[in-house]
């Protein structure tokens, strides 16, 4: 599936501070591969800021298996993975922002919005720090609803997984947010983390001024108690 960018891309062109590793898989039969390949080669010629590695899927299947490539064009810019046809402006954006937290948020939103939960979970397990970036979507009411729903599904799929424990400080902070819906969401997600700290945060929410928040906190505590 080609990932469609829904947020505006800068038209400014700038070289990244350090060379970005790019891995590109193509095949001779692919109609879109030559144009994608040319975009990367043109960028490298002008900016000299790419460590560009190009593989032929038909000739180097062992490399394709390493990156779990199933279709082409497929490319990896830094830590971000893509497949399908993309424009020069899209590709240039990801090269130039490969090390930005804002780009991680954009990437996660796009994939969550497209329902690519498996892709997001795979990359988050490779880069657990992305989860700390992603959790900020919980309090971002401007984020697409589908992305927020996708984040919730992702977290629920990781219930009781230690990978969620670093989220405790941020979720505890959100459990005190001025918006009661965000407090309620935080209580729900705190219930996915079975630790004394999560239970303490949920206990504090039992006295929340909003009845919905209190009920969610109570339900989450009951679910955690059932694990004892």
Specify whether 187 is located in the same domain as 132.
no
- Same domain, yes or no, for 174 and 139? no
Assigned domain for 178 exists: yes
pLDDT for 208: 98
Q: Is residue 6 part of a domain?
A: no
Q: The domain that contains 169 carries what CATH number?
A: 1.25.10.10
**pTM, full prediction:** 0.83
What's the rounded Cα separation, in Å, for the pair 135 and 171?
Answer: 8
Q: Is residue 61 part of a domain?
A: yes
At 85, which CATH number?
3.40.30.10
Residue at 83 is within a domain:
yes
- Same structural domain for residues 111 and 47? no
185 lies in a domain? yes
Residue 117 in any domain: the answer is yes
Q: Which of 155, 172, 197 is the last residue of a domain?
A: 155
The answer to whether residues 92 and 140 belong to one domain is no
pLDDT at 3: 41
Q: In terms of domains, do 89 and 147 share one?
A: no
Q: Which domain holds residue 60?
A: 20-96
The confidence score (pLDDT) of residue 151 equals 94
pLDDT on residue 2: 38
In a domain, 11, yes or no: no
Number of domains in the chain: 3
Query: What is residue 221's predicted lDDT score, i.e. its pLDDT?
Result: 98
Considering the domain boundaries, does residue 121 fall inside one? yes
Q: What is the pLDDT along the chain (228 residues), one digit of tens a residue?
A: 334 334 444 434 455 667 899 999 999 999 999 999 999 999 999 988 899 999 999 999 999 999 999 999 999 999 999 999 999 999 999 999 998 989 999 999 999 999 899 989 999 999 999 999 999 999 998 899 999 999 999 999 999 999 999 999 999 999 999 999 999 999 999 999 999 999 999 999 999 999 999 999 999 999 999 998
């Amino acid at each position: 599936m080609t990932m469609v960018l829904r947020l505006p891309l800068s038209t400014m062109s700038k070289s990244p501070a350090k060379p970005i590793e790019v891995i590109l898989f193509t095949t001779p039969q692919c109609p879109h591969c030559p144009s994608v390949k040319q975009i990367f080669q043109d960028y490298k010629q002008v900016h000299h800021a790419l460590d560009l590695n190009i593989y032929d899927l038909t000739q180097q299947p062992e490399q394709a298996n390493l990156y779990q490539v199933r279709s082409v064009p497929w490319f990896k810019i830094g830590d971000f993975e893509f497949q399908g046809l993309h424009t020069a402006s899209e590709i240039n954006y990801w090269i130039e922002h490969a090390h930005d937290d804002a780009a991680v948020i954009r990437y996660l939103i796009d994939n969550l919005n497209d329902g690519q939960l498996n892709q997001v979970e795979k990359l988050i397990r490779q880069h657990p720090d992305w989860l700390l970036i992603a959790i900020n979507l919980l309090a971002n009411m401007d984020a697409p609803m589908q992305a927020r729903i996708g984040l919730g599904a992702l977290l629920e799929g990781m219930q009781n997984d230690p990978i969620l424990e670093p989220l405790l400080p941020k979720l505890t902070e959100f459990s005190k947010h001025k918006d009661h819906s965000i407090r309620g969401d935080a209580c729900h997600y705190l219930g996915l983390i079975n630790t004394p700290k999560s239970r303490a945060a949920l206990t504090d929410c039992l006295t929340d001024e909003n009845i919905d928040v209190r009920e969610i906190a109570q339900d989450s505590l009951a679910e955690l108690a059932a694990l004892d």
